Structure 1
Amino acid sequence: MRNTWRGLPPRRHAVGWEPGLPVPAADGSPLLTDHYFPRERGDFPTLLVRTPYGRGLPWSPLYGLLFAEQGFHVVVQSCRGTGGSGGAFHLWRNEPADGQAAVEWLRGQPWFDGRLATIGPSYLGYTQWALALDPPPELKAMVVQLGLHDPHGCYHAGGVPNLDTMLAGGTAMAFQHRGVLALVRAMLRLQRRLGAVTTARPLRGAHRDALGEIPWLEEAMDRPDPDDAFWDGADLAPSLDRVAVPTALVTGWHDLLADQSLEQYRRLRRAGCDVSLLAGPWTHASALGQGLPDVFADALAWLRAHLRDDPSGLRPTPVRVHVGGAQEWRDLADWPAEPPAATAWYAAPGGALTAYPPTDGQEPLASLRHDPGDPAPSVGGRLLSRTAGARDTRAAEAREDVLVFTGPPLQEAVEVIGPVTARMTVSTDTGHTDVFARLCDVAPDGRSVNVCDGIAPVRADPGRPAGVRVALGSTAHRFEPGHCIRWQVAAAAHPRYALNPGTGEPRLDATEFLPIRLTVHAASALLLPGAGAAGPATPSPGASAGPAVGGRGDG
């Protein structure tokens, strides 16, 4: 691995390995567990890694080997019903009790010295929050990397089924613990059948031809209401308000769980917990790939500080973020650095984007026709698939079912640091639609790169304007002089999100899908935190906003 990531520290210890140890779960089921350890005498603290994805690649090198080399016992355990462990897997129900059972087993091991930390990404973060519901006294630190605390929010982001996450995440959980070959075959099978799966009518059960039956996934897809009894106890947010365990958080601006990581930071900070945040230019997958030197160094410094009383590697501030556009790292005292004052950029006639509000907020401004047989595609963004991240979106913007509103070239740089929101007034001819909104950075050569985005469902009287708020997530991005700020609007981002049938019927069961006419009205605004501070170039009141760069609107 050091041949690939030259930023990794040198090895301190040779590593030993005890594979396949049977550790009793809370119900007595054997949970297979691998133990990595430094081959030297002495006391070493312990890291607990609980995963439903198997104990081989990538966890064995990323955690078992790399951290054992640095002087830690590392215990990698397969969750109930996965990786050869006994019992049946459930998306969230077993983790609190099984985590406590793992700690009870550790207490009986002669090499365990009472210093414990947890570490891991994604669902491995969820198992950490589950243990933190009732943290054992030995737990001295946590490192939650791109981790979730709310499974419902992961699968039904913004109130819309996140189809890409459901399918890609379901594939990983169902097959990765069976080995790399099984996972690759399943991913290829899903990719070949993705079009048929995501356009099936009804959508319910369409994934079975590619993935087989996955009962927990089907239940999660079938329960869009967060108040459904199925989700009782799934959201571990209550633990965030009382956790006192020092916690290091890692996320990426294009990570599908970025909003959950930032919520974790806010709640822990408010509760007075010792917490740090590292936010890089990463997707859910790339943080432990291209970002590994930064992520590993951050984790190692945190663990040494809280398990070995060695704070020498800690950075000077709690927060470090990567600022896109500027392509630089920045240390901040908090996130956001201060309460951000949002600047409104208004959609204007001709596909323009201006800092001046319209005189008539109800006036129809631009409209699009969404065809469910040929929906606007998802391009980049917070996906699990390999197409995630920052992408050139010009091909999507050229479609008739995507509206773009573009500001003039900036005379000075504009920084957007914090949560981005679209506050919109829209109408639709069927009364049911989705609104997908996206912030883009347009370079002088016309390249339009996505920064952040979000989606929200709309239910209103047909033809009647209604207000909708679309949360586009948070970002740290610098729009350089000569660049333009662009706002995309569509009624779909497929297959990232399940299509709205336009009839009000449940998405999984709908067989009839109606074309939708979506109209954006003049009161619609993109709210950018701090975006006015650098003085965006805007016309004086009463002057023309000027032509949009690549803009379009048929209003």
Structure 2
Amino acid sequence: MTPHAHDAAPRTAWAAPSGKPPLSSRLMRATWRGLPAAQHEVGWEPGLSVPAADGSPLRTDHYFPRTEGDFPTLLVRSPYGRGLPWSPMYGMLFAEQGFHVVLQSCRGTGGSGGRFDLWRNEAADGRAAVSWLRQQPWFTGTLGTVGPSYLGYVQWALALDPPPELKAMVVQVGLHDPYALFHADGALRLENALTVGAGMTYQHRGIVPFVRAVLRLQRSLRKIAAARPLRGAHVPALGEVPWLDDVMTHPDAGDPYWDGASLGEAAERLSVPTGLITGWHDALADQTFEQYARLRRAGCRTSLLVGPWTHTSALQQGWSEVFSESLAWLRAHLCDDPAGLRSAPVRVHLGGDDTWRDLDDWPPAPAMTTAWFPAANGDLTRDAARRVSGESAPLRTFRYDPADPTPSLGGPLLSRGGGSRDNKALEAREDVVTFTSAPLTGPVDVLGPVSARLRVSTDTGYADVFARLCDVDAQGRSLNVCDGLVPLRTAGQDLTEVTVPMSSTAHRFAAGHRIRLQISGGAHPRFARNPGTGEPPAEATGLTPVRITLHAGSALVLPGAGDVRGPSADG
């Protein structure tokens, strides 16, 4: 790491401004329940101008406890503005718990100068913000960071070369790899791209422009998703968003366009204690698990909380747990107050059982796996002998038509509508095949990464394969647990073996329930439809149907439970 200049000025007396946080923030704060009681009255110093790395003024608000004494500082940098919900959620809530909170709009957003350039300026501007902090009379030299989504990305950017003052981080439903946000090994995550386009373009302008943009996008989504080509189809709903076309039309992870975008390496050598929070249906859950593994390998103090949340519901229905977890981590490492820390480094919500489990690591060790094999009659069985004869025999063939693409339902989305949904109607479509176990005689716990090892052939050589794990209850409801999609590139009708990573889960299949493997050729518009022509999804103008055949020898691979301590104290 490069040395940092200690340019902090001698601390002088500071006269706290008399301003109160905005009324809208105070009213929103009053609606929240289940949060720790406020310890301090909150003051507000809005509209400060902090120089970015290029000298552009970055608009910054300062929240602080109206109490004599020294308090640590939290830096929260956002491209989504500094108003609702960020002002009450981060400015007020943390200030009333005894922190100075510096809430700053990223370059080119929320009144800040310069031009917003997705991911390219955050490391330099974060360091510039810390240099400014060193000059403030209330700054004690103890710094933490906190925030969700892109507010997590700016934390990883600062952690590439962490300043000596940085003592703790909390990354909530956080981003570190923009490529993986927009693409799955070349398949375009269309709904993510459009949602991010709306958020980045309008949210920093205020709640009314943002809500109008979201409504326009919802009304136009079907038309945009059906456009040929996809490039530029968002303009009637969102206006010109040049970077949106750029990210959609660069599907190759090795393209120089993505150079420097991923900040995964920050975790590989980090020593700053870092708390991680995600949800089982968070669109960025896999990125959180990746960073957790890197931090563990680096020997960095870390914790992981995984709840029954989507990307947005973690900050809504899950906010009391998310805030309490974040506050405990920051108090422990910035205030030398570990009283609120849990003893286990990992806490996960066990779906299907609605309890919390404390674990020593994620995934749990030992990493046991069980293979379930699809059969031609639609069964899913653990009996390997059922699949020995005719190792390459066809099990099921279905036709995927990009002119009538298999729709997406629930799952890990950035927008509303994600999470667990009943797949019964979806599974009635002719372009969806399922393989289902017999009713379970006892509960089956699945904890860890799920995958499908599939033997597949197509008649054109161009297709996607979407695999989903579902829990089928006694009433026949088929609730999605986790899933994944991979593009296929084969030589004509040649059989290929492919592994579909289906993310991770902690889920209990109850006695009497059935385990189901669902297979289709896509999930639209969550993923852009595969045109079947070999063209990149965002550039395609032609559509060609494809027949996809699943062969014997395929398997659903489920991880078993490791060292589970049982229900936590609050479970």
- TM-score (ref. length: structure 2): 0.92
The alignment status of 1:397 with 2:390, answered yes or no, reads: no
> What SS is found at the alignment partner of 2:377?
helix
Distance 1:301 1:195 in 2: 43
Cα deviation, 1:79-121, whole Å, max 9, x if unaligned, reads 0000010001111000000000000000000000011000000
Q: Is 317-326 or 230-239 further displaced after alignment?
A: 230-239
Distance 2:494 2:395 in 1: 14
> What SS is found at the alignment partner of 1:394?
coil
Partners of 1:414 and 1:533 within 8 A in 2: no
1:356 Cα deviation (Å)?
A: 2.1
**Aligned-pair RMSD on alpha carbons?**
1.3
Give 1:498's aligned amino acid: A
Give 2:323's aligned amino acid: F
Match of 2:64 among 37, 50, 60: 37
1:537 maps to none
1:476 maps to 506
1:219 Cα deviation (Å)?
A: 1.1
2:543 maps to 513
The alignment status of 1:88 with 2:115, answered yes or no, reads: yes
Partners of 1:343 and 1:532 within 8 A in 2: no
Give 1:62's aligned amino acid: M
The residue correspondences of 1:173-188 to structure 2 (distance < 5 A) are: 173-188=200-215
> What SS is found at the alignment partner of 2:417?
coil
The residue correspondences of 1:434-473 to structure 2 (distance < 5 A) are: 434-473=464-503
1:255 Cα deviation (Å)?
A: 0.1
For structure 2, the 5+ residue unaligned runs are 1-27, 565-571
Give 2:474's aligned amino acid: P
Partners of 2:364 and 2:563 within 8 A in 1: no
> What SS is found at the alignment partner of 2:188?
coil
2:359 maps to 332
1:532 Cα deviation (Å)?
A: 12
1:528 maps to 558
1:424 maps to 454
Partners of 1:31 and 1:85 within 8 A in 2: yes
2:162 maps to 135
Distance 2:265 2:292 in 1: 13
Give 1:259's aligned amino acid: D
Aligned length: 534
1:259 maps to 286
> What SS is found at the alignment partner of 1:296?
helix
Give 1:320's aligned amino acid: R
Distance 1:204 1:139 in 2: 41
1:248 maps to 275
- TM-score (ref. length: structure 1): 0.95
Match of 1:77 among 72, 91, 104: 104
> What SS is found at the alignment partner of 1:523?
strand
1:56 Cα deviation (Å)?
A: 0.6
Partners of 2:402 and 2:532 within 8 A in 1: no
Instruction: Please identify runs of 4+ aligned residues in structure 1 that moved more than 3 A.
Output: 1-5, 531-534
1:6 Cα deviation (Å)?
A: 2.4
Distance 1:505 1:383 in 2: 25
> What SS is found at the alignment partner of 1:522?
strand
Partners of 1:2 and 1:8 within 8 A in 2: no
Partners of 1:343 and 1:531 within 8 A in 2: no
1:3 Cα deviation (Å)?
A: 5.8
Cα deviation, 1:192-250, whole Å, max 9, x if unaligned, reads 11111000011111111111111112111111111111111111111110010000000
1:412 Cα deviation (Å)?
A: 0.7
Q: Percent identity?
A: 65
Partners of 1:439 and 1:450 within 8 A in 2: yes
The residue correspondences of 1:131-170 to structure 2 (distance < 5 A) are: 131-170=158-197
2:20 maps to none
Distance 2:539 2:411 in 1: 27
Match of 2:412 among 376, 379, 382: 382
> What SS is found at the alignment partner of 1:197?
helix
Cα deviation, 1:13-60, whole Å, max 9, x if unaligned, reads 110101111100000000000000011111010000000000011110
1:158 Cα deviation (Å)?
A: 3.9
2:138 maps to 111
Give 2:219's aligned amino acid: R
Partners of 1:158 and 1:454 within 8 A in 2: no
Distance 2:178 2:252 in 1: 12
Distance 1:172 1:293 in 2: 24
> What SS is found at the alignment partner of 1:124?
helix
Change (3 A) 1:418 1:210: same
Give 1:163's aligned amino acid: L
Cα deviation, 1:451-501, whole Å, max 9, x if unaligned, reads 000000001122221111100000000000000000100001000001111
Change (3 A) 1:148 1:532: closer
Cα deviation, 1:285-310, whole Å, max 9, x if unaligned, reads 00011101111110111111001111
Give 2:205's aligned amino acid: R
1:533 Cα deviation (Å)?
A: 12
Match of 1:28 among 52, 55, 76: 55
1:516 Cα deviation (Å)?
A: 1.0
1:531 Cα deviation (Å)?
A: 7.3
Match of 1:229 among 236, 251, 256: 256
Distance 1:411 1:58 in 2: 47
1:14 maps to 41
Match of 2:147 among 101, 112, 120: 120
Cα deviation, 1:265-297, whole Å, max 9, x if unaligned, reads 011011000000000000000001110111111
Give 1:292's aligned amino acid: W
